[in-house]
Amino acid sequence: MYYVYFPKSVKHDFYYIGQTKDLKKRFKEHNDGLLQSTKHYAPFKLISYLAVNTRKQAEELEKYFKGGSGFAFARKRIFLIKKDSS
């Protein structure tokens, strides 16, 4: 199985979207500050993840969620971020 995962920084207003084959190991790497892209935002809590059968599916989903409408969907439905009403 491959995973598309959605961690949120505990201390900062920072959300991340990634994909991996080993979710436990990858999430530990995020929390231990071992990854360049997220080390300044640790620690993280795992908001959600999706499991798929192939790496290609995981890569395509990650790309979708990092793009415009996919990121908007993730913000609203996965990270549950509400738009300001101002």
* 26-62: pLDDT as tens digits: 999 999 999 999 999 999 999 999 999 999 999 999 9
10 pLDDT exceeds 90?
yes
Q: What is the mean pLDDT of the chain?
A: 93
63 pLDDT exceeds 80?
yes
Question: Distance (Å, rounded) from C-alpha 36 to C-alpha 58?
Answer: 21
What is residue 83's predicted lDDT score, i.e. its pLDDT?
65
What is residue 80's predicted lDDT score, i.e. its pLDDT?
87
> What are the angstrom distances between the C-alpha of 46 and each of 36, 51, 84?
18, 14, 24
Supply the pTM of this predicted model: 0.89
